Structure 1
Amino acid sequence: MADFLLIHGSCHGAWCWRDVIPALEALGHTARAIDLPGHGDDPTPLAEVTLEGSRDAILAASTPNTIVLGHSWGGYPISAAGEAAPEAMRALVYLCAYVPISGLSMVDMRKRAKRQPLMPAVRRSEDRISFTFDPDMAPELFYHDCPEAAVAYAMPRLTPQAIAPQTTPLTVTDRLAGVAKYYIRCTEDHAIPPEYQSEMVRDWPGDHVFSLPTSHSPFFSDPAGLAALLDRIAKTDVGASRRGKAD
Structure 2
Amino acid sequence: MAEAAPAKIAKLVYVAGFLPTNQQSVFELAGQDTQSLLGPALSTSPDGSLAVVNRAQLVNIFCQDGSAAVQQQVLENYRDEPAGPPAEKVTLSAANYGRVPRYYVRTLQDHALSPVLQDLMLRATPVQKEYRLNSGHTPHLTNAEELSGILAEIAQ
Q: TM-score range by the shorter chain?
A: over 0.9
Q: 1:197 pairs with 105, 108, 118, which one? A: 118
Partner of 1:153: 73
TM-score (norm 1): 0.60
Q: 1:144 pairs with 37, 61, 64, which one? A: 64
1:33-87: CA deviations, max 9, x gaps? Answer: xxxxxxxxxxxxxxxxxxxxxxxxxxxxxxxxxxxxxxxxxxxxxxxx1001101
Partner of 1:135: 55
Residue 171 of structure 1: SS of its match in structure 2? coil
1:232 aligns with 2:153: yes
Relative distance call for 1:113 and 1:120 in structure 2 (3 A) is: closer
For residue 117 of structure 1, report the CA deviation from its aligned partner: 2.1
For residue 150 of structure 1, report the CA deviation from its aligned partner: 1.4
1:8-46: CA deviations, max 9, x gaps? Answer: xxxxxxxxxxxxxxxxxxxxxxxxxxxxxxxxxxxxxxx
1:120 aligns with 2:40: yes
Q: Whole-Å Cα distance in 1 between the matches of residues 18 and 44 of structure 2? A: 21
* Equivalent residues in 2 for 1:158-173, closer than 5 Å: 158-173=78-93
- The number of aligned residues is 154
TM-score (norm 2): 0.93
Q: Whole-Å Cα distance in 2 between the matches of residues 116 and 216 of structure 1? A: 11
Q: Whole-Å Cα distance in 2 between the matches of residues 117 and 145 of structure 1? A: 15
Q: Whole-Å Cα distance in 1 between the matches of residues 126 and 89 of structure 2? A: 22
The percentage of counterpart residues that share the same residue type is: 24
> Unpaired runs of 5+ in structure 2?
none
Query: Would you say the 8 A contact 1:101–1:109 is kept in 2?
Result: no
Query: Would you say the 8 A contact 1:123–1:133 is kept in 2?
Result: yes
* AA partner of residue 126 (structure 1): P
Q: Whole-Å Cα distance in 2 between the matches of residues 134 and 111 of structure 1? A: 18
Q: Whole-Å Cα distance in 1 between the matches of residues 59 and 36 of structure 2? A: 17
For residue 222 of structure 1, report the CA deviation from its aligned partner: 0.7
Aligned residues: CA RMSD: 1.4
* AA partner of residue 151 (structure 2): L
Which entry has the higher C-alpha Rg, 1 or 2? 1
Q: Whole-Å Cα distance in 1 between the matches of residues 116 and 43 of structure 2? A: 25
Higher RCO structure (Cα 8 Å, ≥6 apart): 2
Residue 120 of structure 1: SS of its match in structure 2? helix
